[in-house]
Amino acid sequence: MLKTVFSGNNFAVFLVLTLFSCKKHEEESLPYYNTPDFDPHFITGEEAVKQIPHTIAPFSFIDQNNEMITDKTINHKIHVASFIFTSCGSICPIMIKNLDVVNKKYEKDPDVVLLSFSVTPWIDTPQKLAEFKKFNKINNPNWHFLTGGKGEIYKLARQSYFAEEDLGFTKDSTEFLHTEHVILADRDKKIRGIYNGTLQTDVQQLVKDIEILKKEK
């Protein structure tokens, strides 16, 4: 028979650690990002309304089903943005494979949307994107592969998603965009995380962070 004995000091230490653990769990949250340098702001949602003006700008693109997808599609939803092209033979296949972890977990969750923007939209027609999605065995109706005007996609990537955070607003919008970065945005379209889509550990963290956002009110 096991017997647990707490001395006065031991019990005090146990109580402090328990309270600290509970408080840490209650305060678990993600930072907000407002600028291309990804300087984190650890503030409350109420504070973010005034202190974090940056949100994902309005957009309108066509997906693999030849359907219009706009910023309204992600209203009040958590979304994950990535930038790919169907003929990419380097980082894109790795990113798609890793993001499939997110895909499988939230495939039946309409509150989590994945947006993959083509950075070669002049090549990636809706038909090509549909073939790409089928080739990768992706059945999630909430994972949209998007095409449209090159300038519009590049501007959104760099000025809204800060997809190349080391360059941000200063990059020439016509220069080719090729990034492994995956961006997480909350229900208010505010950026809450950036991840390396080629790293499984980063994508695992992305899933954990989505769970944190799902608990936010």
92 annotated binding-site participant = yes
Q: Of all residues in the chain, what percent are helix, strand and coil, respectively (each to 5)?
A: 40, 20, 40
User: From CA 204, how far away is CA 99, in angstroms rounded?
Assistant: 9
Q: What tokens were used for 127?
A: 């038909």
Q: What tokens were used for 31?
A: 């930072």
* Sequence-ordered list of residues with C-beta below 8 angstroms from that of 102, at least 6 positions apart, any chain: 80, 112, 114, 203, 206, 207, 210
| Helix residue spans in 67-145 (DSSP H) | 91-106, 126-135
22 annotated binding-site participant = no
Annotated binding site for Cu cation: 88, 92, 178
Query: Which residue positions form the known binding site?
Result: 88, 92, 178
